Amino acid sequence: MKKQDCRGFILEVDLGKRSFSTRETPRDWIEGFLGGRGLGARLMWETKPGVAADDPENPLIFCPGLLNAYPTPGTPRSEMITKSPATRPMEPLHSGSSSITYSNLGGFFGTELKFAGVDALIIKGKAPRPTMLVADFRKGVDIRFEDASDLWGLSSKSTELALRKRLGQNQFKTVYIGPAGEKLVRFASIMHKISRAFARGGGGFVMGSKNLKAIAIRGRAIPAVADYTAYRKAVSRLRDHFKSKKDSDAYQHRLKYASLRSFKGLAPYSGFAVRNFSQGYWEVMLDFHKRASRHWVHENACYACPIPCRKTPVIKDGPFPGHFHDSSHFEHAVMLGSNCGQSDERVIPRLSEACNELGIDVISTGNILGFLMDAKERGLLPEAFCDGIDLRWDNPHAMLKAIEKIGRREGLGDILAQGLGFVAKELGSGVEKFAFESKGLEFPGWNPKGYWPIAISYMTSNRGACHLSGDSMERQNQQAVKDAVGSCFFVRYITSYKILAELVSAVVGSEYDEKGIYEVGDRIYNLEKSFNYREGFRRADDSRLPEALCTEHMKARKGGRTILEKAKFERMLTSYYNKRGWNPRTSQPERKTIERLGLGFVPEKS
C-alpha cells in the first residue's frame, strides 16, 4: 500500500478582512516540530518582532497535538500559542515586547481540529464587532464569520448553552471567552465545555482583543497515518501498557483523587503554597483529597483516556451548597485554598466555578488574592484600595466578590485585572517583594522555598512562572515534546514514552527513537527561547526571583528554616545555560546549538 501522509493543512483566518486561506503544512515542520507547542512556536517565529499582545497582527494560534485524534490513551491535549499579555522583559527591545505564551487544553477541541485536518489554526486581525468563527469541515471547507453581539457579555455556561442552541446539539466543539476575556483581563482564559480551559498565559485577553467570542469546529474523519501496520501495533501496545499499570499506585491515586493527592506528595518538602507562599506546609490540607472526594458524584475523561480525572461534586452543606462542574484540581485547591488561608473543601468548587464562569485563570487569581490578603495582614494595604471588600485570610465571601470584580473589571478589579506585577507596583511601599511572579506571570502553587527545584522551572520557563515546564534541561525537553504530541502531564508515570515514540514514528513516517524525540523537545525549547531573546529577555529576566524568597525565612515541616540562596541559584543558572549551550552572560542560544538543532533560520543578531 502506498505510504500515506499524516499532514493536514494550516488554516489562516483574518478577522478584519473576513477572509481565510489554507496551505499545506511543510513536511519538515511536522518532522521537526511534530505539532502542538512545537508547530505553534515555529509559526510564532514567522511574526515580526515586537508585536504587542493586543495588536491585530499578533496571531492567536491553536495547534492540536500530533496524536490528538488517534485512539491513544492519554494524548488529548491541544495547544494555544500566542504573544503573552502578561510578561515583559526588564529592558524591552520593542514597545510591544513580551514573551511567547502557550497553554494546553484537554477535552475534545484539539481532537476535532485534527478530525477537520487542521494542523494549525491561525487567527489574525481584529473584527470590527463581536464575532464568532464557525468552521465546518464535513463537506469541504466552510468558514463562516457570524455575528456574536448576542453572546457578548455572557458567562461561560450561558455561552455554551447559547452556542448549542445556535449550532445544534452535540456536534460542534467550541472554545469561547467569558466576560473577562472581553474586558481584557490580562490573565483571562479560553474556555471549553464550561470548565476546561486554555487557562494560563492570557489567551482570553488576545481572543478578546480580536473581538472574537467563540470558535466552533466540526471535523469529518480521522487523519491518515504513514505506516498503518506499525500504528495499529503501537496503539494496541499503548492500551495494553495502560491496562498493565492499572494496579499501580500512580494509576489508582489518579483515578481516586485526581491530582489532589499532590498535597501529600509535596508535604515532605514543605512544597506547596500556604498564605501567599509564606509557608510550605499546612497540616489540614493533607487529607484534602479524601475530604473532597466524598462530594464527588460523577467523573469525566478527555478523549480516549481511561482515567476520568475530572470529578463533579454536589456540595450539600457549607456556605455554598449546589452542584459544580469541577473540583478535582490541585492547583485550584492550593491557589484558591491554602494560598488564601482556606482549607474548606466545600468552598473551593464554588470559587473555581466563579473563575470558570468569568473565564479567568484560577492560578493567577488565587495568587493575586493571596498577595492582597498577605499585604493586608502586614498592614501594607490601604483601606481605600480594598473597595469595601474585607480581604482577610479565609474569607470565601470576600474572595467571591473580588473574583466577580476582576472578571468584570469593576472598581478594585480594574487594577487587579492588570496582573500581579502591576498591582504590586501600584501599591508600592515595600510590598513588591511579596509579589510572587516571574517575568510577569504569577507563581502556581508549588512553593520554591520548600521544593527548590521548581525555582529553576519558574526562572527558566519560556512563558513565565510555570510548574509544568520542568526543573532541568532533560525534563524541559521532555515536557516540550509531550506538549507537541498532546500527551498529558497527568499520566506521566503511567504512559510509556518508548511506545509514544513508536507511535509518532508510525504516524509521521520517519524514525524517532526515545533520544530522537527529546531532540525535538530541545529544538522547540530553543526556538521559544530565541523568540524571547529577540524580544529582549536576557539572563537578568531569568534570575529575577521575588525578593521575599531569598529574605523571608520559612519554617519547614522537618524543622529548621529554609530560604533560597541567591548566589546558589545564580550558579545553578550558569550551569543550566552551559548545559543548554546558551551564552551564560546573555542567555542567548549559541550558534552551534542553533545549527545542531537545524534552526538555521534564527539570525545571529537580533
Residues that bind another protein (CB under 8 A): 1, 70-71, 73, 108, 115, 157, 160-161, 164, 169-170, 193-195, 219-222, 225, 228-229, 232, 235-236, 297-308, 310, 312, 314, 323, 325-326
Least distance in angstroms from the C-beta of 299 to another protein: 5
- Compute the distance between CA of residue 75 and CA of residue 486 in angstroms, rounded to an integer: 5
> The C-alpha cell of 249 is what?
499506585
How far from 271 is each of 394, 455, 554, CA to CA, in Å?
20, 11, 11
Element containing residue 431 per DSSP (H, E)? none
Least distance in angstroms from the C-beta of 498 to another protein: 21
How far from 457 is each of 409, 421, 474, 542, 543, CA to CA, in Å?
31, 19, 12, 10, 11
Helices H, strands E: what count in the chain? Answer: 24, 19
Q: Would you put residue 170 in left (φ > 0), alpha (ψ -120 to 50) or beta?
A: left
Secondary structure (DSSP) of 74-99:
T---EEEEEE-SS---SS-SSTT---
- Compute the distance between CA of residue 478 and CA of residue 525 in angstroms, rounded to an integer: 10
How far is C-alpha 292 from the chain's CA centre? 24
Nearer to another protein, 118 or 417 (CB): 118
- Compute the distance between CA of residue 62 and CA of residue 162 in angstroms, rounded to an integer: 23
Nearer to another protein, 103 or 312 (CB): 312
Nearer to another protein, 114 or 289 (CB): 114
Least distance in angstroms from the C-beta of 308 to another protein: 4
> The C-alpha cell of 162 is what?
447559547
Pairing of strands 212-218, 131-136: parallel
Nearer to another protein, 177 or 302 (CB): 302
Least distance in angstroms from the C-beta of 151 to another protein: 15
Nearer to another protein, 61 or 116 (CB): 116
Least distance in angstroms from the C-beta of 229 to another protein: 5
Nearer to another protein, 219 or 470 (CB): 219
Least distance in angstroms from the C-beta of 307 to another protein: 8
Secondary structure of 38-80 in the HEC alphabet?
HHHHHHHHCCCCCCCCCCCCCCEEEECCCCCCCCCCCCCCEEE
Least distance in angstroms from the C-beta of 315 to another protein: 11
Nearer to another protein, 21 or 229 (CB): 229
- Compute the distance between CA of residue 37 and CA of residue 26 in angstroms, rounded to an integer: 16
Least distance in angstroms from the C-beta of 332 to another protein: 16
Nearer to another protein, 1 or 384 (CB): 1
Which segments within 237-361 are labelled E, that is strand?
Answer: 296-300, 310-315, 322-323
Nearer to another protein, 1 or 567 (CB): 1
Least distance in angstroms from the C-beta of 170 to another protein: 6
